[in-house]
Amino acid sequence: MNINNSISTLRRALEARLPVMLWGAPGIGKSSIVRSEAKERGIDLIDLRLAQLDATDLRGIPVPNKETREVEWYWPAFLPSEGHGILFLDEIDKAPNLVKSAALQLVLDRRLGDYELPEGWLVVAAGNREEDDAFGSGLGSALANRLLHVDVEPDLEIWALWAKESGIHNDVIAFLRFRGELLFKMTGENAFPSPRSWEAASRLLHQEEGESSAFTPGVIASAVGAGTAAEFSAWVRLYRDVDVSKILKGKIPSFEKKAASFRYAVVLAVANYIEKHTLEERQYQAVGTLLEAVTPELRVLLLKSIPAKMVSKIAAHPAIREAASKVVLDYLGS
């Protein structure tokens, strides 16, 4: 299910105080979902990477009591003792079997030996599926059967909304509007495109803003892989060469025999301009003409690529109203 549906399911499970297992490929945002949910609720988050723990790290260590001749268990300081929060058992699929066994008791009984998870704490686990080739393995039926299971899949539209709010570089957002299948793709390289790696690419681009080196394949390849970086860099050059000022003067380019990359670059460059500037009266007519000249898919894309609060104002303008009404029909027909 997409990110929004995953969040909705997670919230309902947490309200019912049921432990949840988030499944998904590396880098698609499982950890981000849990962090955001904890922040939204105003509660603490303890993130445990179970693949990096031994059984004694989680279970604690036995300490003999010389007076009673009994053994007491000292549990780890990272486990909560009070308050409210989410105990996030990340990478549980990669944990050693003894750690999984300890996690089973924590999930089932909310206890580990003498330790008891405080009432205000909720349990969420996460891991990669076996087909993700991320060195994961099954949980075992005993543990799996005690968790609600939620598959998390990337969704371009939801990601794009988040990306704009989070300051992801516009070149990254625009490129993925054109090549949405590269939001997440296992390419066989050590670096591959995913929501997490595109965020890293965005940070590189912001760091070297204005420097040509930031748009060469070598810089972006470190985050998303060589093949994706080469395609990204080529497309960014095309995108940045679009002369939006000429288009808004009414000089609409001919799209005949042009590659899809050019058409997308023009529409997305205009959308980026509209988002950052107040259109002059004469420019509305040019936008309307552009909408009439492009395909239904690109009409929809242009209006989806600008903030929702701006769409109603633009769509209501007499010069654009007719073309904008076609976007509604395009939505209904899709």
* b (16+ CB within 10 A) / e for 180-212: eebbbbeeeeebbbbbbbbbbbbeebeeeeeee
Mean pLDDT (the chain, rounded): 86
- CATH code of the domain in which 131 resides: 3.40.50.300
Distance CA 94, CA 42 (A): 29
% the chain with pLDDT above 90: 40
- Pull the structure tokens for residue 58: 């989680």
Instruction: State which of 151, 173, 200 marks the end of a domain.
Output: 151
Using pLDDT thresholds of 50, 70 and 90, give the confidence band for residue 219: confident
| Residue 322 and residue 226 share a domain | yes
Which distant-in-sequence residues (6+ apart) come within 8 Å of 196 by Cβ?
Answer: 26, 27, 28, 29
| Amino acid code (one letter) for 148 | L
The predicted structure's pLDDT at residue 213? 46
Q: 265-319: per-residue pLDDT in tens?
A: 999 999 999 988 888 888 999 998 998 888 888 988 888 888 877 888 888 888 8
Residue 141 has a CB neighbour count (10 Å cut-off) of 8
The predicted structure's pLDDT at residue 191? 93
Which distant-in-sequence residues (6+ apart) come within 8 Å of 66 by Cβ?
Answer: none
Q: Is the entire prediction scored with pTM above 0.85?
A: no
- Pull the structure tokens for residue 80: 């909560």
User: Mean pLDDT throughout 32-56?
Assistant: 90
Poorest-confidence range of 90-104, 198-212, 229-243, 276-290? 198-212
| Residue 39 and residue 112 share a domain | yes
Q: Decide: helix, strand or coil at residue 132.
A: helix
Residue 135 has pLDDT above 60, yes or no: no
Nearest to 124 by CA among 103, 139, 145: 103
Instruction: State which of 119, 151, 183 marks the end of a domain.
Output: 151
Contact present, 126 and 91 (Cβ < 8 Å): yes
| Residue 141 and residue 168 share a domain | no
Instruction: State which of 151, 166, 194 marks the end of a domain.
Output: 151
Residue 150 has pLDDT above 80, yes or no: yes
The predicted structure's pLDDT at residue 295? 87
- Of residues 5 and 215, more confidence is placed in 5
HSE of 4, CA atoms in CB hemisphere, 13 A: 8
Number of structural domains the chain divides into = 2
User: Mean pLDDT throughout 61-73?
Assistant: 83
Which distant-in-sequence residues (6+ apart) come within 8 Å of 162 by Cβ?
Answer: none
| Residue 132 and residue 194 share a domain | no
Instruction: Please give the DSSP secondary-structure letter assigned to residue 82.
Output: S
The predicted structure's pLDDT at residue 332? 42
| Residue 195 and residue 141 share a domain | no
The predicted structure's pLDDT at residue 296? 85
Using pLDDT thresholds of 50, 70 and 90, give the confidence band for residue 161: confident
Q: Count how many residues are written for the chain.
A: 334
The predicted structure's pLDDT at residue 12? 93
The predicted structure's pLDDT at residue 40? 92
Distance CA 197, CA 186 (A): 12
Q: In Å, how far are 88, 130, 149, 285 from 51, measured between CA atoms?
A: 13, 15, 19, 59
The predicted structure's pLDDT at residue 133? 60
What would you report as the CA-atom Rg of the chain, rounded to the nearest whole angstrom?
25
Which distant-in-sequence residues (6+ apart) come within 8 Å of 88 by Cβ?
Answer: 31, 34, 45, 46, 47, 48, 124, 125, 126
Q: Which domain holds residue 167?
A: 156-333
User: Mean pLDDT throughout 71-80?
Assistant: 84
The predicted structure's pLDDT at residue 99? 86
| Residue 47 and residue 175 share a domain | no
Residue 136 has pLDDT above 60, yes or no: no
- Pull the structure tokens for residue 333: 């027909």
Q: 191-214: per-residue pLDDT in tens?
A: 999 999 999 999 998 887 655 444
Contact present, 291 and 324 (Cβ < 8 Å): yes
User: Mean pLDDT throughout 183-189?
Assistant: 91
